[in-house]
Amino acid sequence: MSGFGEIAVSALICLGAFFLFVGSFGLAKLPDLMRRLHGPTKATTLGIGALLIASMLYFILEDEIVSLHELLITTFLFLTAPVTALMVAKAHILLDKEDQEKLPPTGREVGWSVLDAPQTHEAKKS
């Protein structure tokens, strides 16, 4: 493998590991759940992304195999990370009475869907 490729792969591995560490560090350090949520959802996606790009580059340069499984994992994680964050945030809002009072008004006549019953499709039409 050429020197430049080796440096690029090493740099991407270190970058990915750094972001993964920062994400978990934020999870451990920050004081409440809504703030903790920011660390893992962002830092880990780029962390995993950089690691998977490094892995793809490594297999292309070292074995001359173009492996596309990494792309699949990256896409999957980028699609699922917002869903997990949303579900955790909703569970938190449902359980935490203090944060419920801090929520801003919706600007509509109904409340937030976690606390207020969602309108059904039929009710919206009428």
Partner 1 sequence: MIAISCTVAFIAISAAMLLCLYRVLVGPDMPTRILALDTLTINAIALVVLIGIYWNTGLYFEAALLFAMVGFLTTVAYCKYILRGNVME
Partner 2 sequence: MLKTLLPHPLLTLLIVLMWILLSGFSVGSAAFGLILGVAIPRLTSAYWPDRTRIGSPLTIVEYALIVLWDIVVANFQVAYLILFRRGDDLHSQFVTIPLDLRTPEAITALAGTITMTPGTVSASLSADGRALLVHCLETNDPEQTVAGIKSRYESRLQRIFET
Partner from partner 2, partner 1, none contacting 17, C-beta within 5 to 8 A by type: partner 1
User: What burial letters (b/e) apply to 59-68, b meaning 16+ CB within 10 Å?
Assistant: beeeeeeeee
20 binds, among partner 1, partner 2, none (CB under 5 to 8 A by kind): partner 1
Give how far the C-alpha of residue 116 lies from the chain's centroid of Cα atoms, to the nearest Å.
27
The crossing angle, in degrees rounded to 10, of helices 44-63 and 3-29 is 160
| Residue 62 interaction partner, one of partner 1, partner 2, none, beta carbon < 5-8 Å per kind | partner 1
DSSP state of 37: T
Residues 50 and 41: beta-carbon distance below 8 Å: no
Among 82, 84, 111, 119, binds partner 1 (CB under 8 A): 84
Query: Is 53 among the residues that bind partner 1 (CB under 8 A)?
Result: no
- 9-48 residues near partner 2, rule: CB under 8 A: 18-19, 22, 25-26, 29-31, 34-35, 37-39, 41-43, 45-46
Q: Where do runs of H (alpha helix) occur along 30-68?
A: 33-36, 38, 44-63
CB 53 within 8 A of CB 19: no
Q: Which residues bind partner 1 (CB under 8 A)?
A: 6-7, 9-11, 13-14, 16-18, 20-21, 23-25, 27-28, 33, 36-37, 40, 44, 47-48, 51-52, 54-55, 58-59, 62-63, 65, 67, 69-70, 72-73, 76-77, 80, 83-84, 87-88, 90-92, 94-96, 114
